[in-house]
Amino acid sequence: MSDCALAIENGATAAYADLGAQAPKIYWCVFHVLKAFKGKAISYLQDTSEDAITEFRNVLYEQRVCPEILLGQLYVKWSRINPAFVRYVQIQWHTNVTHWAMYSSSKKACVSGPAILPPELDFNFSHIPPGSGGALDSKFDKQSNGATLQS
C-alpha cells in the first residue's frame, strides 16, 4: 500500500473546503480497517483474538443495529479479558465510527442523536479527542489517518 493516503485525504479535503458540509466524504477502506484491527487484536488477545475479530467484523457489517450498540456489547465482553484492548477499540475505532465505509449503510439503524444504551453499556467518550490514541496508535492510525495501511 501507499504512504501517500494521508496526503491524498488532505488534498481532497483542501480541494473541497469551500463546500463545507456538502464536500465529498472520505471513508476508510473496510479491508484496511479489518486488517489494522486484526493486528491489534492479535497483539492484545493472542489466542482469543479470532473471536474478537469475528465480533468486530459483525459490528462493521451489521446494518440492522447501530454500530455503537454493538461496540458496547463488545466492550462488556472483552473488558473482562483485556481492558487495554477495549480502551484501544474505544479510542481508535469507536470515536471514528463515522469514517468507516460501511457506516453510511448502517446509519438508518441508528436513532437520530446519540444511541441510548443500557447503563452497563453506556460509555462516555467526550473526554477523548479524535485521533488521541497516543502510544496505542498503530502505523495505520498515524500515517494514513485510517485511509489505508502500509503492508
Q: Would you list the domain boundaries of the chain?
A: 5-144
- The model's pTM: 0.59
C-alpha cell at 115: 444511541
Of the pLDDT bands very low, low, confident and very high (cuts 50, 70, 90), residue 29 is confident
The per-residue pLDDT for range 1-17, each reduced to its tens digit, is 344 566 777 888 899 99
Burial of 36 (0-12, 13-18, 19+ CB in 10 A): buried
> Tens digit of pLDDT for each residue in 45-85?
999 999 999 999 998 888 777 888 888 899 999 999 999 99
Report helix angle 67-79 to 49-61, nearest 10.
170
On whether the CB atoms of residues 69 and 115 are closer than 8 A, the answer is: yes
